[in-house]
Amino acid sequence: MNWEVWMSEPWAQCVAGLLVLSLVALVAQFLVERVLVRAVHVMTRRSVWEWDDILFEQRVLHRLAQATPSLVVQFGLRFVPALPAGLEMVLLNVALATTGLFCLLAVSALLNGVQEIYARTEHARTRSIKGFVQLAKIAVFTLGGIFIVSTLIDRSPLILLSGLGAMSAVLLLVFKDTILSLVASVQLSTNDMLSVGDWIEMPQVGADGSVVDIALHTVKVQNWDMTITTIPTWRLISESFRNWRGMQQSGGRRIKRTLRLDAGGVRFLDEADLARLRDIRLLAPYLDGKSEELARSNSALGHAVPPANLRRLTNIGTFRAYAQAYLDAHPDIHHDMTCMVRLQEPQPEGIPIEVYCFTATTVWAQYERIQGDVFDHLLAILPEFGLSVYQSPSGNDLRAALRPSSHAGTASSRPA
């Protein structure tokens, strides 16, 4: 009788109804997570597609399953007896807001899954969508936050949106970097100015390395010393940076280095020099052709011509011809790109001979090896042409020049 009397009270019926509704909500969540989610997991593992496994790993279905209790509460409140209208409205708004929250989390997980799916495609190597995904998350959470707050306070979302319109100046100030980064991300992606894996150089921020991540607000660069430089995305638009992608895609890396020769060693070649240099295989065709050309030119001048009026070969010009022939025959030099050896304006530090060519590889270690081999050979063969590299005198050179000779010291020590 006491139980019947107690259950006849409206508040008791309301409490009992809420307890039953809560139990049903928990049971529904248990069934969805333990039965439906696991069944979907088994199906995704057996499917031939990869995208469904990625979405399941990002817990999209788990987030939706977590909204099951709030959905049961929303539809079950009407069956709770003697539930006050005010309490019913509060519980309904809280349940609706909770459902919206888990839906936002599911959409966020879905966007993460889309990003992961795209990252495994070929297009991800050149263009990143991480900035756009982050922007979509900001928009989703902003709109979702407005919906949740308006639901909890039982007001129209338009009221909050109108309030945000009045605060536009403050919002622009707070989200200034986000807006600048958004514009920069769109420009970088649209104009194909930057992509993951590019080697960029930005000295003003200390960046010199490979791009490892492009986000909405920042771009991460792993420098060659394995440090990480984080650059605001908008700075890549407002300031200049160097992208070495063109070099990497061309298949050749430029060598531009100068040999400074001692001007005191420059002279004409005599017949003995020509006979000796003809034994160099790469130089023989040049000497034969040049000798015929000079012979025809000098014969037109007649006989008894002073040597100063004759055209003759020089050792520095012959060295340039040899260096050009050496580069043309080198297997590691890219022969479809510019390749030349040029003489530049003499300077107090010597006569510059610049080697300008491209290697057949862009790998850094191989590039340095090829460049080293080329200049090792050119430096070592200079004495064959009677040339030497200019070198400023060192302290030992000056001391040797100022030190009296041993002969002079002996003569001065003899008695008169």
pLDDT score recorded for residue 56: 84
pLDDT score recorded for residue 234: 87
Report residue 177 CA to chain centroid gap. Answer: 21
DSSP designation for 336: T
Q: Where would I find the beta strands (DSSP E) of 272-336?
A: none
Same CATH topology for 192-244 and 253-393? no
Q: CATH 2.40.50.140: does it fit domain 192-244?
A: no
Report residue 313 CA to chain centroid gap. Answer: 50
Long-range contacts of 326-329 (CB under 8 A, 24+ apart): 326/282, 326/374, 326/377, 326/378, 327/355, 327/357, 327/374, 329/282
SS3 356: strand
What does the DSSP assignment read for 136-176?
A: HHHHHHHHHHHHHHHHHTT--HHHHHHHHHHTHHHHHHHTH
- Parse the chain into domains and list their residue ranges: 2-166, 192-244, 253-393
Tell me which fold the domain 253-393 belongs to: Alpha-Beta Plaits (3.30.70)
pLDDT score recorded for residue 415: 45
Residue pLDDT tens, the chain, 416 long: 455 555 566 767 778 888 888 898 889 888 888 888 888 888 888 888 888 888 888 888 888 888 888 888 888 888 878 778 888 888 888 888 898 899 999 998 999 888 888 888 777 666 667 777 877 888 888 888 888 888 888 777 777 777 666 666 666 676 777 778 878 877 787 777 888 888 999 999 999 999 998 887 889 999 999 999 999 888 888 888 999 888 888 889 999 999 999 999 999 999 899 999 999 999 999 999 988 888 888 887 777 677 777 888 999 999 999 999 999 999 999 999 999 999 999 998 899 999 999 999 999 899 999 999 999 999 999 999 999 999 887 778 778 878 775 455 444 444 43
pLDDT score recorded for residue 416: 37
pTM over 0.75: no
